[in-house]
Amino acid sequence: MASPDNAFQAGIFNRLAGFATLTSAIGSNKVFDFVPQGTASPFVRIGEFMLSDWDTKSKNGWEITFNVHVWSILSLGTKTVNSILSLIHDALHQQEASITVSGFTLVQIRREDHLTIQDPSEEGQNDQYYHGVARYRAIVHA
């Protein structure tokens, strides 16, 4: 049985990229798994995934922990990052029926926590960013 990694990531991407309240706040085409250089903030990046198998005698299953990152320019402040993290929560937290994981069943998805920090700019750049990271946990079975 294939693992759900790519199908799950596609489902999360499609949900976030198609969540109108989020795209209104950050702009269209601002959800990424790889951020093109020069992308203006704010933007969202689907980050790191960790899968753990929990197969039973009758089902294949996985617990997936993943991060969603938000970046916003310093002048917009922490409030912008927290507002975007809240919209991501609205799009994902306990929204199993709204997220399609092709070939699998999404049993549960919930936010575990989130963190907002200030990121320094690259050397020689004047920009400074606020960076938010939300960690989610999901249960998927075949």
Rounded to 5°, the CA angle 95-71-129 comes to 155
The domain limits of the chain are: 5-30+42-73+80-123
Which is nearest to 94 in space by CA: 139, 64, 56? 139
pLDDT of residue 125: 62
Rounded to 5°, the CA angle 130-124-83 comes to 10
Helices 5-17 & 77-92 angle (0-180, nearest 10): 120
pLDDT of residue 73: 85
Cα(first)–Cα(last) distance of the chain, in Å?
A: 8
Which is nearest to 111 in space by CA: 142, 136, 140? 136
pLDDT of residue 56: 87
Question: Would you say 73 and 41 are in contact if contact means Cβ atoms under 8 Å apart?
Answer: yes
pLDDT tens per residue across all 142 residues of the chain: 689 999 999 999 999 999 999 999 999 999 999 999 989 999 999 999 999 998 888 899 999 999 999 999 877 678 999 999 999 999 999 999 999 999 999 999 999 999 999 877 666 566 678 999 999 999 999 9
Radius of gyration for the alpha carbons in the chain, expressed in angstroms and rounded: 16
